[in-house]
Amino acid sequence: MVLSLVILTPLFEEVAFRGVIFGWARQRLGFMEAALFSALVFAAFHSGYVDNLGPFWGLRAMAMIFTLGFLSALLFERTGSLIAPTALHALFNVQAVLPLLIDQPTA
């Protein structure tokens, strides 16, 4: 589970959302518009959190995921590589899965 959430998922999602979606939008739009678009699509892809966590925590999770998407687009734009956004995404997932590993309820 940890391998999937911390390594494979960030890798595949960054290829899809930054490499493909942001890359496609960036060819047609300015950075800000492309980054906001890809972050919005990224957050929408994770909208199941609202159902799973309820509106109070789910919408907060969505805001954090949107922010992660925007920051990942910024890193991709600045570095021209998917390594930095994938590492950021992996670190984000580590903090999300850490309570499961130490058997503590999430905040």
Would you state the pLDDT for residue 105?
Answer: 59
Would you state the pLDDT for residue 101?
Answer: 75
Is 76 strand, coil or helix?
helix
Inter-residue contact 1 to 9 (CB < 8 Å) = no
What type of residue is 65? I
pTM assigned to the model: 0.88
> Which two tokens mark 67?
């922010």
Residues of the chain whose pLDDT is less than 70?
A: 104-107
Distance CA 78, CA 6 (A): 23
